[in-house]
Chains A and B, each alone.
Chain A
Amino acid sequence: GNSVTQMEGPVTLSEEAFLTINCTYTATGYPSLFWYVQYPGEGLQLLLKATKADDKGSNKGFEATYRKETTSFHLEKGSVQVSDSAVYFCALIQMTGSARQLTFGSGTQLTVLP
């Protein structure tokens, strides 16, 4: 079945450092790929998405490119801020019966120090 493997955390960076969180997937067909972010005490929010190969999703300075040849969707940001401290989840979507079902990675905790 489908699966998502993402870089284990926790990740601790200084403010303005470069961020990469790796994500690879296993899927049949051509899934859509997502990054979700969960700030402390809150639910998940969609950060960015890509629906086909070579698409680049971007939002709030974060980017991720859908690489079919390497089955990857790595999250990057050039200069992180303290406010980016959160848990980041990579996910893909599949059809199951009549519903679109997300498969999540295990999450990566990011802490940014001032």
Chain B
Amino acid sequence: DVKVTQSSRYLVKRTGEKVFLECVQDMDHENMFWYRQDPGLGLRLIYFSYDVKMKEKGDIPEGYSVSREKKERFSLILESASTNQTSMYLCASTGYNQPQHFGDGTRLSIL
């Protein structure tokens, strides 16, 4: 089975902090994705990556950056956290012609 692991289930940070959310997949997938999930808005794509060191903006990239130094790891970075970034963050990965596999999510609270 594909395993997508997000480093934290729950995280509490303060406004202005730099926050790192980590995601690791074990199936050698090329594509990895970061979404945020908010009530009534469904899932919105923040960034995705289709190869090491490659990244593309999704629908809501403002206030975020990403890093993909190794194929199995895709990091989401909040450069200066703000309260409107309190959300559930979901990581996903997929190989060629396969459905996306999701991690369990990180519930991030910015105080």
Which A residues from 12 to 57 make CB contacts under 8 A with B?
34, 36, 41-46, 49
B48 contact from A34, A89, A99, A105, Cβ within 8 A: A99
Number of B positions contacting A (CB below 8 A)? 26
B interface secondary structure, majority: strand
Closest to A97 in B: B56
Q: Measured between alpha carbons, how far is A99 from B110 in the docked complex, in Å?
A: 31
What 0/1 readout, one digit per residue, does chain A (48-84) give for beta carbons within 8 Å of chain B?
0100000000000000000000000000000000000
Q: Residues 22-51 of chain B: 1 if any A CB is under 8 Å from the residue's CB, otherwise 0? A: 000000000101000000111111001111
B contact residues vs A (CB 8 Å cutoff): 4, 31, 33, 40-45, 48-51, 54, 56, 58, 90, 92, 94, 99-105
